[in-house]
Amino acid sequence: MQLRRILRDVPVLRALGMRRVSFLLGFLAVVIAILTLSPNYLGFREPRQATAKQPPQLDVGVDVTSVIMRAAVYDESDGTIKSTNIASSAIDVAVKNASPSTALITGVNFLFRRIEKLERCTRVAGPVLVSAPYDVKVPTQPFRAEPPFVIEKSIGHELKGGAHERLTFTIGTESTPDGWPSLYQVDISLSLDAQPSSIFAATVFFMEPSDHDWIFRSESHGQALNKDCVERNAESLQNFVRARGVHSQALLSFSGKLQRRLAAER
């Protein structure tokens, strides 16, 4: 009642009449209530907190296995080039996506830290690689780049959430001068589309070509091995075997055979 008396004293409202004034006040009350209780009305929304996309979480394991590869080999004994099967070291990268989101592996990086060519300890060369289809081809001797250097292998491989797969790569020089292997120390890492930095996987130690049985077969056929040469190669192999990382079975086997041979001669 007191509000109505106050409103009667307002000339404009008095001209409208009390019935229209009451309607106008009710309308204004509804509008104020809407704006107060519903801030989303007219587009005034609370800013939403942006949900950061979680990067994929990968569990990576690395092993060095052996595969059979078809290659062109020069046989010094008869001077012919033959297509034959050879044993080759293979880097086996097992990847599991532990997150629900899909991971895009854009590449695998091979950081070559050490490469050491073993000396030829036999008069006759072994199987000489002329051409071999390695997945990762290392520059041939003399090396165009001295270690450390990186070879990047682009793959563009999608790994769905919860999935796990294996990626296998053979590594080596396309040709060898005498059949004697080279020793390799390589850091393996993965590049992801969603991450600026690569994911370190493992350091691997292997030799390529990995077949070394021919060396001992040639010795049994009367081709003596140079003792000083064998000692130097055995020391080089031991330096790689003692280093921390993942070692190929061929590397460990060859090192053990040379060590036992030298021990028998003492």
Q: At what angle do helices 249-265 and 227-242 cross, to 10 degrees?
A: 140
Rounded CA-CA distance 235/54 in Å is: 48
Residue 218's SS3 state is: helix
The residues, any chain, with a CB within 8 Å of residue 45's CB and separated by 6 or more, are 39
Q: Locate 85 and state its tokens.
A: 């099967």
Q: Where are the alpha helices (DSSP H) in 55-211?
A: none
3-state helix, strand, coil in the chain (%, to 5): 30, 40, 35
| pLDDT computed for residue 154 by the predictor | 93
Range scoring the smallest mean pLDDT among 22-36, 151-165, 244-258? 22-36
Rounded CA-CA distance 205/187 in Å is: 9
Which residue matches tokens 């030298």? 262
**What is the percent of the chain with per-residue pLDDT over 90, rounded to a whole number?**
45
CA 1 to chain centroid = 82
Q: What is the dihedral of CA 228, 233, 239, 244, to 10 degrees?
A: -160
> Taking phi first (over 0 means left), then psi (-120 to 50 degrees means alpha), and beta for anything else, what does residue 179 get?
left
State pTM to two decimals. 0.75
Across the chain, what does the average pLDDT equal? 81
Which residue matches tokens 């001068």? 177
**pLDDT by residue (tens digit) across 110-135?**
999 999 999 988 776 777 888 888 99
Q: Which of 202, 200, 199 is nearest to 55 (CA)?
A: 199
At 224, phi and psi to the nearest 5? -70, 145
| pLDDT computed for residue 176 by the predictor | 80
**pLDDT by residue (tens digit) across 207-251?**
998 888 888 876 666 667 888 999 999 999 999 999 999 999 999
Provide the residue ranges of all domains of the chain, joining segments of one domain with +: 2-43, 58-265
**pLDDT by residue (tens digit) across 12-27?**
555 555 556 565 556 5
Q: From the CB of residue 99, how many other CB atoms can be counted at a distance below 10 Å? A: 14
Mean pLDDT, residues 44-61 taken together: 67
